[in-house]
Amino acid sequence: MLLASVAAGAEPAARVWHGADGRSLPFDRVDQLLEFLAGADVVEVIDLSVGVTKPQQLVLERDGVRAHAVFHSIDRRERQTKTLVNGRVMLYLVDSYRSQIAAFELSRLLGLDIVPPTVERQVRGRVGSVQLWIESAMTEQKRRERGLEPPDRSDWNHQKSEQWVFDNLINNIDRNQGNSLIDADWNLWLIDHSRSFGRDRRLPYPERVSFLSSGLWQGLRALDPDTVRERLSPYLDKAEIRALLERRDLLVAAIEGRIARLGQARVIRERGEAWMSMSVSETPGR
């Protein structure tokens, strides 16, 4: 997985995507893959046994190219008091496929390749999100159950740290070991964002903000409000976008505070830099 070292709005470099047979898909750019996800024939729909939102696996095919995808169609926004496991009370509940697409689009604006490509489309009469299936992946829960350790702890910690930066930005109140995927190359993928965004202007996990790459740091600071509104307004309402931009400001301020206390070299890090020099409090969730 390639994290960007470019300004917000720029695309991550082309990467290899895998189809249903495990072989690479014939797409050089993410836009080509998105067009496939939006227009390929749905040849099979399979109910999945996991997930409270009742997702379905799709088999998509066009011109001899076949790939798996996951389909979500839930779309709920309502005033409903919900107490999270950390004791925090939410007054406005979001559970929508639209948030899945918004998470992907925002990751693109940040130049962050951590959310699988996702589009909106109709499947058998229902409108929802269609997201590329990550082949040969295991959940974080399965990794822990199997006692598997990352081959490169430094790289793993970097990916986890940037996960928490992203989750704070999108107000992801539902990150758990079942919605973090690890592919065969130990790339971390973030899925199941239907309960993200919402209208809460606070950072949900400010204590988790540790360090991040210069590319993501640049992307956060360069997020343009007008561009955010243009790209995300099909999926988020005005209050959700305002809250997102306020969380961005809080996140930037929190990172600037860490830089002031610890020095830039301990906060702005690139993948592959050694992590052993960090204190326990600096190390992201393992």
Domain count, the chain: 1
Distance between CA atoms of residues 150 and 158, nearest Å: 12
Asked if residue 88 belongs to a domain, the reply is yes
Residues counted in the chain: 286
Query: In the structure, what pLDDT confidence band is assigned to residue 15 with cuts at 50, 70 and 90?
Result: low
Is pLDDT above 50 for 280? no
Asked if residue 241 belongs to a domain, the reply is yes
Identify the pLDDT of residue 44.
96
Identify the pLDDT of residue 178.
87
Helix (H, G, I), strand (E, B) or coil at 81: strand
Distance between CA atoms of residues 133 and 191, nearest Å: 10
Rg of the chain taking only CA atoms, in angstroms: 18
Asked if residue 69 belongs to a domain, the reply is no
Q: What is the per-residue pLDDT across 123-155, written as a single tens digit (0 to 9) for each?
A: 999 999 999 999 999 999 999 999 999 999 999
* Total Cβ atoms within 10 A of residue 253: 10
What is this structure's pTM? 0.88
Burial 108-121 (b: 16+ CB within 10 A, else e): bbbbbbbbbbbbbb
Asked if residue 164 belongs to a domain, the reply is yes
Asked if residue 8 belongs to a domain, the reply is no
Asked if residue 165 belongs to a domain, the reply is yes
User: How would you write 134-163 as a 3-class SS string?
Assistant: CCCCEEHHHHHHCCCCCCCHHHHHHHHHHH
Helix (H, G, I), strand (E, B) or coil at 32: helix
Give the N- to C-terminal CA distance of the chain in Å, as an integer. Answer: 19
The more confident residue out of 48 and 121 is: 121
Asked if residue 152 belongs to a domain, the reply is yes
Q: Which domain holds residue 80?
A: 74-110+136-282
Asked if residue 194 belongs to a domain, the reply is yes
3-state helix, strand, coil in the chain (%, to 5): 35, 25, 40
